[in-house]
Structure formats: structure tokens, C-alpha cells
Amino acid sequence: MEALNGKHKWLVTGCAGFIGSHLIEYLLKNNQTVVGVDNLATGFQKNIDDVLSQVKNPDFEFLKVDISKKEIFEVLQGKEFDYILHQGALGSVPRSIKDPLNSHQSNVDGFIHLLEIAREKRVKKFVYASSSSVYGDHPDLPKFEDKIGSVLSPYAATKKINEVYAGVYAHNYNLNSIGLRYFNVFGKRQDPDGAYAAVIPKWIAAFLKDEAVFINGDGETSRDFCYIKNVIQANIKSAISETKGHEVLNIACQAQTSLNELKDLLLNFLKEKGHDSKSEIEYRDFRAGDVRHSLANIDKAKKLIGYKPTHLIKEGLAEAIDWYIENVK
Ligand SMILES: NC(=O)c1ccc[n+]([C@@H]2O[C@H](COP(=O)([O-])OP(=O)(O)OC[C@H]3O[C@@H](n4cnc5c(N)ncnc54)[C@H](O)[C@@H]3O)[C@@H](O)[C@H]2O)c1
């Protein structure tokens, strides 16, 4: 992606997380001024340290704060920003089904706090992480931004509410914003541990240990896996684009991979790296709240911000596989 013109002030929320840490890495490597906030709920100081170790003289300030609490306003008082990239939220559909209140607090209270900050600071663009889960039970494939169904989980509800609020702030306060509906992002620094780990790190960990790999359903469930570099490109292009009002964009590759295909891909990549896994594959019940198929149409993002995915799933895995092997336990 082309370098950024000039030096700007950025606020990145969720900066200790997977996607947020890649955003600060890109911005700091491109000589930008960055304030990052995170409460380390699911993110890690080590992600920030990893980024800072790669950048000479980073113009960066980390503030450990919970965005769902009013103290976020005090912490950011007197600071100015040109752009906000809002990633801070509690991810995972199953986590939200188990604990809807906490997801709501971080994802909805936190979100409106960030909208207020964007309004007060008069930022040029508020870019935020939405999710493909907003499509809910809508049957059409591929997914077009303007056709959504009923959401199927508290997590998806929080992301839908985000989009509603961003529209309301555009209408009432002229806040220009873009919501990025990410589809299954993967790459280095994606948390491989815990009950809510994403499928790619979870399976790689099991394959490396020759432990059973569980596939929810018949394995024909499919996803549009999106490598982190495509997501970074989408955020930066959204921020500097000239769009007005509120827009939502699908961010993925417009390419479908079933869980059975993903399993074979991972097994092949690991074999090439000298790990010939003996894991058993066990099929079990479909998981509550999961959608069956997920495939994006990305024409709107192409047209509006010039988004062009540079990495399909294989190219992304080829770049990230060594990191996964070294970091999954
Ligand atoms: N990774 C994906 O596949 C995917 C898909 C769709 C949407 N998203 C969205 O993208 C964003 C980033 O996700 P990620 O994969 O990097 O997850 P992540 O868990 O690695 O990062 C989220 C970060 O937000 C922080 N956070 C959570 N609640 C907070 C709070 N109340 N105050 C301050 N910080 C808080 C966490 O500590 C974490 O560092 C999230 O909004 C997520 O919902 C991710």
C-alpha cells in the first residue's frame, strides 16, 4: 500500500489487541503520531512491545483505560486527533452468549463514548470495526451491505447498534464515519489461547499437538477468511477517503473456504513445515449463534475507498504460518 502523506494524529482503540496492534504498527512505521487505548481485557502489553521493538523513535502514547467508563473522557482531555480507528471491543459470538452484559458494556457503551470523543475532537473520519455477524440470518450469498437479516447473537446485536449510532451521529452532528464489516480476520498476534480463540490458531495448536480437532457441524460451513494486511489497508483507505456521512463496507476477499477445506490447507502448510499431524478430526453439533455461510461482496469497498485485497487465504497463511507455529501452545 502507498505511504501516507504528511504527519497526522491518530487515536487507535483496542491497540493491544490483534487488529489494533497491526494498525499502530502500520501508522508508526509511516511516521504518524499515535495515541493507543486499551484496558487489556483480551489484548496484551506484549503486542504493543512487539510493535515498538520494530520502530525507531515511535511517536506513540499508550493509555490503559476502559472505554466503557466515563474516565475515557478525562484521559483524552486536551488531546487532538485527525482520525479515530476504533477497534476496542469484546469479540466472539460464544463469549457474548455467555455474558451479554459485558459485551454490551464494552461494545455499545464504549462505542458511544468514542462517538462523543470523535464529535468533540471534530475528527475528519471515524473508522470502526463492525462485523459480518450483522448479516445474521439473511440467506443471500454473497452478502451486500444493504441486505441484512435478524442478528443471531448479543455480539452481532452490539455491532448492529454501532452502525445505527454511527448513522445517527452522521445525521445529527455531521460526523463522517465508515463501519468496516470484517469477515474472519487472521494473522500474526491473533490470540491463540483461551476458550474464545478463533478457528485458525485453535486448529493449528491442536494439529501441532496431535490433539483432536473439532469441527462444528458437517464441515461445509464456510467463511470468507481475510488476512490482516487487507484489513489494515481498508482502515487507512477509509480514514483518508473523501466519503461523507456514514457508510458500511464489507472487508474480506470475496472468496469462500469451507471448514473442511481450511482443515486440509492447514494440514498441508504444517506438513511443508515438517509437522505431519496425527490429529483425529471429530465432527460435532453446530454451534449456537453461528451463521452457516459467510461470503462478502466487496464491490462497494472497491468503489468507495479503492480497497483491493492483496492477500487471499493461501497467501496470508504462507506469511503467518511461522508465527502461528512459534506462538500457539
Ligand atoms: N478478528 C476478527 O475476525 C473480527 C471479525 C469481525 C469484527 N472484529 C472486530 O474487530 C475489532 C478488533 O478485534 P480483534 O480481533 O483485534 O480482537 P482483540 O480481542 O485482539 O482486540 C480487541 C481489543 O479491544 C480491547 N478492549 C475490549 N474491551 C475494551 C474496553 N472496554 N476498553 C478498552 N479496550 C477494550 C481488548 O483488550 C483488545 O485488546 C473488534 O471490534 C472486533 O469485534 C474482529
Catalytic residue annotation: 155
The reply to whether ligand 1 has any atom less than 6 angstroms from the CB of 107 is no
Domains of the chain from N-terminus onward: 9-189+228-254+290-310 (3.40.50.720)
The reply to whether ligand 1 has any atom less than 6 angstroms from the CB of 296 is no
The reply to whether ligand 1 has any atom less than 6 angstroms from the CB of 36 is no
Check: CB of residue 263 under 8 Å from CB of residue 219.
yes
Give the Å distance between the CA of 15 and the centre of ligand 1: 9
Place of cell 483480551: 42
Q: How far apart are CA 22 and CA 45, in angstroms?
A: 13
Ligand 1, residues 42, 66, 109, 232: which to mutate, most atoms within 8 A of Cβ? 42
Give the Å distance between the CA of 86 and the centre of ligand 1: 9
N-terminal to C-terminal alpha carbon distance within the chain: 33
Q: How far apart are CA 248 and CA 181, in angstroms?
A: 7
In tens, the pLDDT along 206-230 reads 999 999 999 999 999 999 999 999 9
In tens, the pLDDT along 159-189 reads 999 999 999 999 999 999 999 999 999 999 9
The reply to whether ligand 1 has any atom less than 6 angstroms from the CB of 84 is no
The reply to whether ligand 1 has any atom less than 6 angstroms from the CB of 297 is no
Q: How far apart are CA 131 and CA 149, in angstroms?
A: 13
Give the Å distance between the CA of 17 and the centre of ligand 1: 6
* E strand or H helix that includes residue 203: helix 199-208
Q: Check whether 328 has a pLDDT greater than 90.
A: no
Counting from 1 in the atom list of ligand 1, the atom nearest the Cα of 88 is 24
Q: What is the pLDDT of residue 288?
A: 74
In tens, the pLDDT along 49-70 reads 999 999 999 999 999 999 999 9
Give the Å distance between the CA of 91 and the centre of ligand 1: 5
